[in-house]
């Protein structure tokens, strides 16, 4: 499935997350500081829903950013979906703290870490058992990462095109066009994934009609045929629901996977940074990072990030390590 062509007039001068990720992989630590400025407040909010105090939340956020930085520097991790990827790492790091685990070191091998991240998805939240088998999950993961990103922002976080524009490097009109194409792509994915998982001839016979059924573009005879099938097929009824309301599947299945159950209450309230002037000027002045003492576990301050930490959050770092 190909991505939507975006006219150059729909591009913004501010670097998108994807552009910043490329710069980080090329060795630009200021670019990672820019990603931090955009997403740290939301990551901190998510961490606070899992741990007991602001100090632990700050540890979790620093830890998560350090992990993601290592992945990017090794050529791993997200290409465009930085925010959702970061949230997943925050959730896992926060779970370690909440369960009282002592973190003595970070996972240095990016491939090992990413494999663990994927492997823990189903086990992390029992409510999500069978997630990998669901039509919604498979369809979403089959999309281009840029489509996944715009769907995350529009359908899960409920952001406006104007809010999303700097993150994707587009104008609001460009975001709206991309979101429309992504929603249609997700609906096509639903149909394809559903068709690949059914064996009943009746389901196969109406599968090609379900998209038109939801859009109201079928002839009366075809509508009657689909109606008859839906009366006896729960699977196709569920599919029709997802086709008609893309946000339903995104919020009901994709959001819990990324945010966890505790993080769902934050939907619509996660701060989103916008355009960044100067790409985090001075972000790399602090050196190569430091490990601080705090709360019995390793505290990591990623390269070039700690100057951007929200001053409103109580600091507990060793000042000698931050100089």
Domains of the chain: 14-125+260-323 (1.10.1740.10)
Gyration radius of the chain's alpha carbons: 22
Look at the pTM and tell me if it is higher than 0.85: no
Q: Which residue has the higher pLDDT, 1 or 78?
A: 78
CA–CA separation, 302 vs 58, rounded Å?
12
Q: Lowest mean pLDDT: which of 74-88, 130-144, 299-313?
A: 299-313
Overall size of the chain counted in residues: 323
CA–CA separation, 76 vs 112, rounded Å?
11
Q: Which residue has the higher pLDDT, 254 or 282?
A: 254
The 10s digit of each residue's pLDDT in 85-128 is 999 899 888 888 877 754 434 444 444 333 433 444 444 444 44
Dihedrals φ, ψ of 50, to 5°? Answer: -110, -30
Tell me the average pLDDT across 24-48. 95
Q: How open is the CA angle 268-95-309, to the nearest 5 degrees?
A: 60
pLDDT at position 298 is 36
Under a CB-based contact definition with an 8 Å cutoff, are residues 152 and 198 in contact?
no
Within 130-171, where are the H helices?
Answer: 135-141, 145-151, 161-168
């Amino acid at each position: 499935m190909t991505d939507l062509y975006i006219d150059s007039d729909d591009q913004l001068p501010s670097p998108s997350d994807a552009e910043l990720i490329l710069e980080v992989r090329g060795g630009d630590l200021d670019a990672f500081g820019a990603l931090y400025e955009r997403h740290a407040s939301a990551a901190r909010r998510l961490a606070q829903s899992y741990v007991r105090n602001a100090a632990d939340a700050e540890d979790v956020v620093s830890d998560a950013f350090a992990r993601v930085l290592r992945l990017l520097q090794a050529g791993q991790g997200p290409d465009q979906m930085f925010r959702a990827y970061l949230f997943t790492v925050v959730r896992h790091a926060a779970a370690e703290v909440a369960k009282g685990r002592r973190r003595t070191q970070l996972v240095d091998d990016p491939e090992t870490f990413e494999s663990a991240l994927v492997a823990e998805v189903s086990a992390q939240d029992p409510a999500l058992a069978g997630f990998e088998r669901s039509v919604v999950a498979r369809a979403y993961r089959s999309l281009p990462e840029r489509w996944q990103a715009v769907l995350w922002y529009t359908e899960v976080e409920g952001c406006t095109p104007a809010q999303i524009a700097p993150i994707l490097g587009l104008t609001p009109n460009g975001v709206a066009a991309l979101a429309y194409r992504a929603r249609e792509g997700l609906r096509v994915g639903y149909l394809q994934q559903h068709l690949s998982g059914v064996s009943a001839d009746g389901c196969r016979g109406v599968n090609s009609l379900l998209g038109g059924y939801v859009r109201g573009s079928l002839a009366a005879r075809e509508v009657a045929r689909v109606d008859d099938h839906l009366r006896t097929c729960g699977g196709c009824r569920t599919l029709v629901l997802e086709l008609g309301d893309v946000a339903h599947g995104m919020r009901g299945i994709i959001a819990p996977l990324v945010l966890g159950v505790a993080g769902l209450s934050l939907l619509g309230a996660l701060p989103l940074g916008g355009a960044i002037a100067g790409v985090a000027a001075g972000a790399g002045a602090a050196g190569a990072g430091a490990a601080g003492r705090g709360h019995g576990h390793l505290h990591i301050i990623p390269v070039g990030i700690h100057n951007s930490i929200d001053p409103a959050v109580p600091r507990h770092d060793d000042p000698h390590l931050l100089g």
